[in-house]
Structure 1
Amino acid sequence: MTAYAIANLRPTATVAEDVFVYMETIQSTLDPFDGRFLVHGATLEVREGTWPNALVIVAFPDMTAARAWYDSPAYQSLIPLRTDHIEGDLVLVEGVGEGYDPASTAAALRAQAA
């Protein structure tokens, strides 16, 4: 099942050189784990609430690959280049499977609440 690394980043007005190095190098850390960018640097169209931040979404074949990428020495060495200059949050999350039915999830939650 596809897994995702999702980052909610709060960039500053000026971009530090370290951030450029991070951006230039990150793909080489993703390649061994079949990671690929789905969203990076895109303009957001906010329809509800506020979203002043930058959104990054990277897809992996599965959660094992996503965890292995994040824990890899190559990526671990890059993390400070970003986190020393940009505040943010990063989560790994497993996607839903083929044929996912949100009504079934609602029914299960309704049953738990009863």
Structure 2
Amino acid sequence: MTAYWVNTFTAIHDEERLRRYAELAGPAMRAAGGRFLARGNPVDLLEGDSALRTTIIEFPDPAAARAAYESEAYQEALRVLGDSATRRITVLQGVEDD
């Protein structure tokens, strides 16, 4: 079943390192079977506290999302990012159409 990787940045401490992370992370996600559905700054806030940036990536299943995270290519992107941002990554399972 489809899975969705949701990466939410709540603080950014170094824009340059974040940019370099994104240059590595994007290809790593695509190589692992991910498809970017949305990314960027919020365009509207309907409730709660706003995140600075959010990325949503579709994967064939939760195991593929986990494998993408654990891949050497993504781990290299994480080394570049280091402590330059505070974020939360969650994986959600897609719903089946009735």
TM-score normalised by length of structure 2: 0.84
Encode CA deviations 1:2-33: one digit per residue, 9 max, x unaligned.
10111110233751x22111111222211222
SS in 2 for 1:8: strand
Consecutive unaligned residues in structure 1, runs of 5 or more: 100-114
Answer 1 or 2: higher relative contact order, Cα 8 Å, separation at least 6: 2
Return closer, same or farther for 1:8/1:83 CA change in 2, 3 Å cut-off: farther
SS in 2 for 1:50: coil
2:28 and 2:74 in contact (8 A); partners too: yes
| Root-mean-square deviation (Å) | 1.8
**Identical-residue share of aligned pairs (%):** 31
SS in 2 for 1:5: strand
Say whether residues 1:24 and 2:26 are aligned partners. Answer: no
Return closer, same or farther for 1:26/1:52 CA change in 2, 3 Å cut-off: closer
Which whole-Å CA distance do the structure 2 matches of 1:11 and 1:73 have between them? 25
Structure of larger gyration radius: 1
Which whole-Å CA distance do the structure 1 matches of 2:23 and 2:73 have between them? 13
Which whole-Å CA distance do the structure 2 matches of 1:47 and 1:75 have between them? 32
Report the structure, 1 or 2, having the larger strand content: 2
SS in 1 for 2:44: coil
Encode CA deviations 1:62-106: one digit per residue, 9 max, x unaligned.
11211110111111121132341010111122111122xxxxxxx
Report the structure, 1 or 2, having the larger helix content: 1
SS in 2 for 1:37: strand
Quote the residue 1:40 is aligned against.
Answer: 39
Quote the residue 2:89 is aligned against.
Answer: 90
Quote the residue 2:9 is aligned against.
Answer: 9
Return closer, same or farther for 1:14/1:25 CA change in 2, 3 Å cut-off: closer
TM-score normalised by length of structure 1: 0.74
